[in-house]
Structure 1
């Protein structure tokens, strides 16, 4: 069979509030985002695993607050006063920010009362923070956590990700994949991307039979699969 070479085109995620899928694992975090500007100290630390939807929730808040979005790893000595002058800030992956600069930034926002959201994969006690005063400030921030998704939510995420790629997949195939894949949103994204590329390369539709063949050939996405 002749294999086509699929173009590796990055798809821009849709980060509008109407595109966010609410579930029990993220309902509390979404409710807190929607409470803006009535946040204690006008700050929020949002934690959750990779691909859990932190950036999407952050983008929803940034649109509501008119906030600038900045990456923690990009912070340097000049960043805190510049970012504090923005009025509101979403600092993504805050655990990757240098401690001295992050400490300065938190102090500036606490003094000004401007809106600040931090996102991170884990709670501050797991960052390896070596500055006691910084850890104390992070612990005192109002916090929200996105939990691991249940199978029903994985169904919804798989449907959305296939829809983003304009791929129609029936409910039986979605259920088949959700029951066998790693239970994380990051795994959903990786699986849908890999299935899309393989289907394009082989000129096949994403069906239950195709999904079974794929999982048997790529056990890292779903482990052992029974015969169909």
Structure 2
């Protein structure tokens, strides 16, 4: 855990203290919602519904009602429930009573870990100094991290070069319009 998600993890670690047996975890794509949800499900006898805004409102309503302190419910979403447009007043009132935990964009530590993970998922070994260099120069978002790793991978393959700071400098300095 890093500072960016430590408060959310602390909340999810203690569902017995929640005012209702349901919590909604809200954050942008790639912010760590799924990671925290898997950790929550493994740590507690709880239920997880990811991308709750896309679930049938009746199903969501029944899942909310079925949650208990012994089997809490964690919902994840990119958006606040007021933006879901589900149209069920009873569900709306339950969601209004549901604690909402928000994940923001990553801090430097989390962004570095994500960049390292993205390279590893592609089978690419890079030096820690490259990751640090990227963290200091790209936009503070997971989308930017994904874009820069993909672009560096493509450029390294096309040029038949290793991914190094000089290559990253060329790509990052020449690709400002991509948000990194």
Relative to the length of structure 2, the TM-score reads 0.83
Alignment match, 1:192: 149
Measure the CA separation in 1 of the matches of 2:65 and 2:21: 13
Query: Mind listing any 5+ residue stretches in structure 2 that lack a counterpart?
Result: none
Task: State the alpha-carbon separation in 1 of the partners of residues 110 and 16 from structure 2.
Answer: 28
2:61 pairs, out of 90, 98, 103, with: 103
Distance 1:220 1:24 in 2: 29
Which has the greater radius of gyration?
1
Residues 123-162 of structure 1 mapped to structure 2, 5 A cutoff = 123-162=80-119
The answer as to 2:3 corresponding to 1:24 is: yes
The C-alpha deviation readout for 1:41-80, integer Å capped at 9, x for no partner, is 33221111110000000001111235xxxxxxxxxxxxxx
Runs (5+) with no aligned partner, structure 1:
1-21, 67-87, 224-228
1:177-227 per-residue CA deviation (whole Å, 9 max, x = no partner) reads: 22332211233223223322332343211111111222345444346xxxx
What is the rounded CA distance, in whole Å, between the counterparts of 1:202 and 1:36 in structure 2? 51
- Alpha-carbon displacement from aligned partner over 1:131-159 (angstroms, at most 9, x marks no partner): 22212101211222212223343223223
Q: Which residue, 22, 30, 49 being the options, matches 1:43?
A: 22
CA RMSD of aligned residues (A): 2.5
Structure 2 residue 50 is the aligned partner of structure 1 residue 92: yes
Q: Is the 8 A contact 1:181 1:221 kept in 2?
A: no
Q: CA deviation at 1:166?
A: 4.1
Distance (whole Å) between structure 2 residues aligned to residue 150 and residue 45 of structure 1: 21
TM-score, normalised to structure 1, is 0.68
SS at the partner of 2:47? Answer: strand
Q: Look up the match of 1:210.
A: 167
Which secondary structure does the structure 1 equivalent of 2:162 belong to? coil
